Structure formats: structure tokens, C-alpha cells
Chains A and B, each alone.
Chain A
Amino acid sequence: NAGVTQTPKFQVLKTGQSMTLQCAQDMNHNSMYWYRQDPGMGLRLIYYSASEGTTDKGEVPNGYNVSRLNKREFSLRLESAAPSQTSVYFCASRRGPDSGNIQYFGAGTRLSVL
């Protein structure tokens, strides 16, 4: 099993450009999450999807949109990138209480906005 797969691994954008970060999991998990990690700030939740067809805002949703395309895939879109969105983005998934609520993380996407 690949677990949680994120693409791309690295990306450089110019201010104002748009892009979509892709995330897919092959563990049949119900819930999926997007986090950003910044130096000195720790990981902060951007958006999450508790189950297929639902999405909710996390702590830092401004400037982002998400789509839960199906049970496997959860994408994060930056419509008009800003330098403040330079960060490392992590996707995670979780099956639910029957598996102890353990979250499994992808390897991350390193994004620079110039």
C-alpha cells in the first residue's frame, strides 16, 4: 500500500498564480485533512473532510479551497497565490474510532510563492 500520496513534491509559483495540490489515500479512510507547516508555528489545520461529500474549515482557511472528489482524493486549491502561502503542505487521512483515530500523513508538498 502506498498510504497517503501527495503531488507535486515541490512547486514554485509567482504571486497571483493558481494551482491545485493533490492528495490520494488507498487505505479506505473516511476522513482527510490538509495542514500547513511553517517555522515556529507548528502544523495548522487548513480544511478537513470528515467523510465523502463534506468539507469544513480549519484554523487557517483563508485563501484556500478544497474538493473531496471521492473517498480517495482530497485536493487543495490556491486561487491566487500570495507569498504568505509559502509553506510545507501536508495531507493526512484517518479511518475513524475503530482504528483509534490514528492519522497517517503524506510526505508533503513544499511550495514557494515569489
Chain B
Amino acid sequence: KQEVTQIPAALSVPEGENLVLNCSFTDSAIYNLQWFRQDPGKGLTSLLLIQSSQREQTSGRLNASLDKSSGRSTLYIAASQPGDSATYLCAVGSGAGSYQLTFGKGTKLSVIP
């Protein structure tokens, strides 16, 4: 059974800092890995998706990397802003013939002005 772990559970940084969120998974037989953002009381917004054959994906100030062999992914946020404050969820896509996502419990990020 795939298990996804996110460290740290919570993180507080001053505005302008660069930061890294970590995600690890136990089964390297994955199709892809997706990073989501969730604001309080809201649904999930997809930020980046990395296919298993890729090493990284970039969108604006966000960069996600994937090391499938070691079961790790990182989400790098450059020049953090108060608007980045949210919970970030890592989800691993796998399942031969019946694609499913397995989620980590998330990292709650607070960016202090």
C-alpha cells in the first residue's frame, strides 16, 4: 500500500524567504506526482504535476522536483509572499488500470509579512 509523508507538518517563514516543502512515498511504481494548494475552508487547487519520466516542473515561483528511485519530491517556493499562506498537499498517482491518488497529510505554510 502506497504511503505518502509530508515534512514538516507546519512551517512559518518571513516574507521574501525561499522555502522547500518535502514529500516522500513508499512505492516507487508511480505514474505521476501532483502538488496541490488548499486554502482554509476551500477545495484543492492543482499547482504542478510531474510525470514519472520527468525530473522537475516549474510554474512561476514554484518548482517541483521528483526523484522516483528514492521516493522523494520537493516543492520549492521562491521569494515567498503572505498570499502563499495555505496548506500544500502532495499526492502520488498510481494503480495499474485504475488510476488513483494517495495523499499526504499536508504542510501548513504561514508567510509572515
Binding site for B on A (CB under 8 A): 31, 33, 40-45, 48, 50, 56, 58, 90, 92, 94, 100-108
Contact = CB atoms under 8 A, between A and B. Distances in A.
Given A43-B89, A90-B44, A103 B101 contact: yes
A42 B104 contact: yes
Size bracket of the B interface:
20 to 34
Determine chain A's interface SS by DSSP, over half rule. Answer: strand
Most chain A beta-carbon neighbours within 10 Å: one of B36, B43, B91, B106: B43
A41 B9 CA distance: 12
Determine chain B's interface SS by DSSP, over half rule. Answer: strand
B2 to A, nearest CB: 10
Closest 4 A/B residue pairs (Cβ): A42-B105, A105-B44, A43-B103, A107-B43
A4 to B, nearest CB: 8
Interface of B: 31-32, 34, 36, 42-46, 49, 51, 89, 91, 93, 98-101, 103-106
Contacts, number: 53
Most chain B beta-carbon neighbours within 10 Å: one of A33, A43, A45, A105: A43
B106 A42 contact: yes
Contacts of A101: 31-32, 49, 93, 99
B42 A94 contact: no
B103 A31 contact: no
